[in-house]
Structures are given as structure tokens and as C-alpha cells.
Amino acid sequence: MKRFFLLLLVLLPLGIFAQNQSKFIVVDQFGYLPESQKIAIVRCPKIGYDANEQYTPGKKFAVIDAKTNKSVYKGSPVAWRNGEVDSSCGDKVWRFNFSEVKQEGSYYIKDLKTREISYTFDISPNVYKEPLKHAFRYFYYQRAGFEKTAQFAGEGWTDKASHIGPNQDMNCREFLHKDDPSTEKDVHGGWYDAGDFNRYTNWTCDYIIYLLLSYEENPAAWTDDFNIPESGNGIPDIIDEVKFGLEHLLRLQFEDGSVVAVVGSQEATPPSACTRPSYWGGPSTSSALSAAAAYAYGAKIFAKYDKTFSEKLKTAAIKAWDWADNNPNVLFFNNSAEHGTQGLAAGQNECDDLTRVEKKLQAALRLYDATGNNKYKVFFELNYKKARMIDWILVFPFGEANQDMLLYYTAMDNANPDIVKHIKAVYARATDTIVNLFPIKADDDPYLAYQKDYVWGSNGTKAKHGCIYYNLVFYNIMPEIRQDAIGYAERYIHYLHGVNPLNKCYLTNMNQYGAENSVRQIYHCWFENGSDKWDEVGVSKYGPAPGFLCGGPNIEYAWDQCCPNNCGSEYNNSKCFEVDIKPLIGQPAQKSYMDINNGWPINAWSISEVSGGYQVQYLRLLSKFVQ
């Protein structure tokens, strides 16, 4: 509907152009559910790169029907804290509440004095299905060893299967024994982890677990029509995508139950152009425990869809658990000069002792759920207090795995009622704190999506915040604030969709799907800087594929320490100035972002790189609001 009205606006009489598309009136660019709270933010920059761009709103605003160009509601914007300037965003803010508008349709907000207008948005029960579909398809585009055809990828993002040539994923050798053909192992498939093409077992397992959790928490959102190759087979597409990930994960397991820790693959644009070898590293205790949990969770869900596959997963899960139980201290550090693995992948996915304890709890929980074997339940119940949420009495967005694992236990059949009560009590106590509910109740963020830290991956952290509050709803914790908690969770979606100081939808290339100011560039080895096809929306032929959630504002962003004069050559020094990074330095936290994708020494990856970790948290949160 919205796309039709955008076209209609272009065809309306010239009087429409007397209105000004405003960067100062920000809305969720996709829209709102009919019964949800609807608040447009009106901003006047005071601190930051845009502080000289002043805007004083009129006293009356209106909601305008984009089809008829007529007002359907009028009201007055209300100043946040009597005109105080917030340091995290650097803005003076007013709010225009138009929650009374519930009729389905396409609309925009208009300042009746200045004639400034917002982007167009929809009000509809299905307003989030389109962004959910495109964001979910991230995993299809990130499939390794899988051809992307025009039918499913779109004309702009077709590519042959990647990393399946000589010495690549189908006959991948161990990194520490590159010249030994006896170490060759078929590790093909899985998903590129982020903007690089490596695959990290601990993180792949997290993605599988969170995709399955998203499905279980709201199956109705996950239909069979997301336009991936498996669509239309009678199985929800999210289950098909998980199967693709699990098939890769099964290939990583050795006969003794241990599991490869990491697959390092080289980059190229497009990915199929890469001819350099791939290497694997590991195994490790953490990768085996992660895999045991993912296999077991998969076994539970696939018992409904594919019993043979379910049994295969169950067997793999038990073997992985047994190996890890017998080998509790096997570590594998990739890309580490100290351990002789420098150059194997990029990020470090080995974990600390506490995280390994939590991984074993997760594996025990999932194995009990899949097999019914009481020994796993006993292990979980004897050791659950070691998880950091219980031990530290802390709920925070960087501890989501242990928090969600503990909460999942509370909804299981045969859970110990005393333990259930304890876990829920701790979650309630640790959520009603100065790092969570207190600043929301105190209205500390003028953009309504409070977050303490804007560091690497802040958009993923926003999504995790929303999930923390929706957990209160899903697990019936603090029922006295149930409706408030739903609203709190939804506000984090609005932030990611445009209700932020940059008036930016943080998904890539979504203009034709309802977000007029979406991300144009991301740090990704496929959609690399300078590519005439994929570099930037509106400049390159296609730009990056739609629906990728970028990392987001990062107050710690900096160019490489070699800049501006010590990068090894005059040519390298000149690369420091490919982009003017002044608008990123010394900014309020929420403004510490630009659409850039330059590599070293600009190091755009710390703000614009994507990650399966960000994506699954956004999908989980958004799917709660898809009917």
C-alpha cells in the first residue's frame, strides 16, 4: 500500500512540493500497528555535527492521509523535559503523540506552520511483515556454497556457489597442517558470519538457537512464503533456513563427537570469485558444547518436520556432549599469534570459563528437552546458579544467552517449581534496575529507546534490549506492567526503523519496501567499497542487498592509529582521507554513525559491518509484533 501512495504523491499537483521533506520530524518509516502507541519525534540539533541546523516547530502538527492529502488528526508537540538537551543524542526534542489514529492507511506528519513533513508510514496489522521477510532473507544471501539465482536473490545479487573449488570448503585442510591431505574435511555450507566469509561454530550455533527460539515464541509470524528456494514446501521457511545451518554444523563433527571450532574462508566480490583455500581449526570444548545445544534444539523441532533428520541431530548432540564432558578444557584460539593461528578467520570465538559453564548448561537443557534423559535435567538443576544472571543478579543485553536459556527452563514440562520461581524472581529483580527499567520509567531517552552504551554493534544491542522487555510478557514476569512492557519492546523497533537522531532506518536498501531513508552502504566483502554494482545505493548499480541490519552508532569509533601520517607509504596515508570522519569524532553517542564502508585505515567495520548476531536479535524482536 505504502509504495502505491509514494507514487501517488509524485503525481499529485505541484502544491505538494511546497511542503518540505524534513530531517527534523522522525517516525518509524515502515509504520505502526493500529493499537500501538504512536509518537513522532521532533528534533532540533544542539550538539554534534548538525548543531548549526536549527528547527523550531510550530504549535500545531497534523497526521495527513497520504492518499487524500487531508488531515485526520491534529495536536501539539510536547517538549521533552521542558526543552532540556539530551547529551546522548545532542538534541532538543518534542514529541507528537498521535496514538488515537488507528485507521489503516498511509500517512505522514506535517508541521502546519513550517510545512515540514515526515517520511510516509503505514498503519496496519501487517506493517512489519515486509521488513521481517527482507531481514530474514539476510541468511539466504549469507549462505556459503549455495548459488543465488535471480528468482530468489533478485537480479542484482545473483552469484554462483562460493568456496567449493579446489582446497576450499569441500576438501578443507586443517590450518596447522596445511600440507597434510589427510586432514581434509568437507565443511561446506553454513552462513558467512558477518561482512567477512568466515564461519565460527560458537556463533553459528547461537544463530541456530535464536532462529528456533524466534520460531517457537511466535510460529504464526514464520510462514512459508519468504521467497527462498525452499518456500512453498509446506514447512516454515525459518525451519528450512535452520536446516541449512544444521547440515553445515553436522559436517563439522568428527566421529569421536568433537567439533571444528572455526572455518576460515577468504573474501572476494562476488563471493564466488574467491579461489583461495579455506582452512579449519579446532576442535574445542566450547564448540562441542555449542553444537550439542544446537543439534539437540534442532532435534526437538525437527521431530515434527523430519523424524530421520531429528534422530540424526539427537545422536550428534549426545556425541558432542560426551566428548565435551570427557574433554572439559580443550581450547582453540583462532587468529592468534600466540597460538600460531594468526590469519585463520578474524574474530575470536573462543570463550572464557564462565561462558563455557553456561554453554554446558545450555547443552544440558536442550538435551533434556530433546531426549527426556533425566541426567541432563539433574546437571542443569544442580548447576544453574553458576550462570551469571543468577550469580551476579544481572540482566543486561550482553548476557542474553544465559538469560534466555534460564527463562526457557521455566516454561518446560517437569521443571522444578522452586527453581522456576527463583529464576523468575531474579529476572524481575535484575530487570527492575538502573540499567534497565529505571531509566525507561524515568523517561531518560527523548527517543524512547534507552540504552546506556553505544559501542560496537549498538543496533544489535538495541534489539536485545527490546527482547529483555518482551521476555517479561512472554514468561509472565511482572504481569502488573505487561502492557507497558510490550510498548517498551516495540519502541526499540521504532528506533531501528527511523526514530533516532539520524532519521535513519538501519536496514540496508529498503527504500522500495517502505523505508525512504535506509542504510546505503555497509562494510561487507561482497558489497565492497568502490564496487560499481554493490558499493552504495543510488551510486552503484544495485547497492547492498536489502534487509541487512548494520552495526550502528559507536562512540568508540576511530580510524587506524597509523593515521594520518604513519601508514607505511604516501598512498596508504592518503587512504586516511578517503572519507571525512570528522562527523564521527566527538559526537553524542547516538550520532556516532555514518553510511561508509571503507576498509583499512578508515575501519568502517566498527560502525557499518553486519553480523548474524545482530540480525537474529532483530528478527526475534520484530517477529513478536507480526500477526
The predicted-structure confidence for 454-472, as pLDDT tens digits, reads as follows 999 999 999 999 999 999 9
What's residue 2's pLDDT? 61
Mean pLDDT of 109-121: 98
Cell of 286: 566450547
Determine what percent of the chain is predicted with pLDDT higher than 70.
97
How, if at all, do strands 518-519 and 505-508 pair? parallel
* Adjacent-strand bridge partners of 365: none
Place of cell 545505493: 537
Give the mean pLDDT of 320-333: 98
Provide the greatest CA pair distance for the chain: 76
What digits encode the pLDDT tens for the residues 356-368?
Answer: 999 999 999 999 9
Strands (E) in 534-601, as ranges, are none
- Per-residue model confidence (pLDDT) at position 567: 97
DSSP string, 46-105: -SSTTTT------S-EEEEETTTTEEEEEE--EEGGGGPEETTTTEEEEEEE-TT--SSE
Residues 207-252 pLDDT 10s: 999 999 999 999 999 999 999 999 999 999 999 999 999 999 999 9
pLDDT value at residue 299: 98
Class of residue 307 by CB neighbours under 10 A (exposed 0-12, middle 13-18, buried 19+): exposed
Q: Are 495 and 449 in contact (CB under 8 A)?
A: yes
Round to whole Å and give the CA distance between 621 and 218.
10
Task: Give all domains of the chain, ordered by start, each with its CATH number.
Answer: 2-126 (2.60.40.10), 128-351 (1.50.10.10)
Q: What is the pLDDT of residue 312?
A: 98
- Structure confidence at residue 148 (pLDDT): 98
- The string of pLDDT tens digits covering residues 386-416 is 999 999 999 999 999 999 999 999 999 999 9
Write down the pLDDT at residue 405. Answer: 98
Determine the pLDDT at residue 366: 98
For the chain, give the mean pLDDT. Answer: 96
Over 50: is that where the pLDDT of 5 sits?
Answer: no
Burial category of 158 from C-beta neighbours within 10 Å (exposed 0-12, middle 13-18, buried 19 and up): middle
Overall average pLDDT of the 137-153 stretch: 98
pLDDT in tens, 27-41: 999 999 999 999 999
The pLDDT, as a whole number, for residue 390 is 98
Between CA 143 and CA 236 the distance in angstroms is: 18
- For residue 67, the model assigns a pLDDT of 97
Neighbours of 248 (CB within 10 A): 24
pLDDT band with cut points at 50, 70 and 90 for residue 503:
very high
Residues in a beta bridge with 40: 96
Give pLDDT tens digits for 171-196: 999 999 999 999 999 999 999 999 99
Distance (Å, rounded) from C-alpha 7 to C-alpha 110? Answer: 19
What's the pLDDT band for 18 if we cut at 50, 70, 90?
Answer: low
Does residue 318 contact residue 371 with C-beta atoms inside 8 Å?
A: yes
* pLDDT value at residue 494: 98
Q: All 3 cell numbers of residue 488?
A: 517498551
Q: At CB < 8 A and 24+ separation, what contacts does 171-174 make?
A: 172/263, 172/277, 172/278, 172/279, 172/280, 173/277, 173/279, 173/280, 174/279, 174/280, 174/281
Q: Give, in order, the Cα–Cα distances in Å from 325 to each of 285, 292, 322, 357, 364.
A: 8, 11, 5, 11, 11
Q: Sorting pLDDT into bands at 50, 70 and 90, what band is 15?
A: very low
**pTM to 2 decimal places:** 0.96
Assign residue 97 a region: left if phi > 0, alpha if psi is -120 to 50, beta otherwise? beta
Q: Provide the pLDDT confidence category of residue 8 given band limits of 50, 70 and 90.
A: very low
What is the rounded average pLDDT of the residues 79-100?
98
C-alpha cell read off for 167: 582446497
Residue partners of 542: CB distance under 8 A and separation at least 6 = 156, 157, 533, 534
- 543 in Cβ contact with 551 (< 8 Å): no
Q: How confident is the model at residue 627 (pLDDT cuts 50, 70, 90)?
A: confident
Q: What are the phi and psi torsion angles at 263 (to 5°)?
A: -120, 120
Alpha carbon distance 57, 65 (integer Å): 20
Of 167, 122, 159, which Cα lies nearest the Cα of 143?
159
Tally of residues, the chain = 627
* Alpha-carbon dihedral sign for residues 583, 585, 586, 590: positive
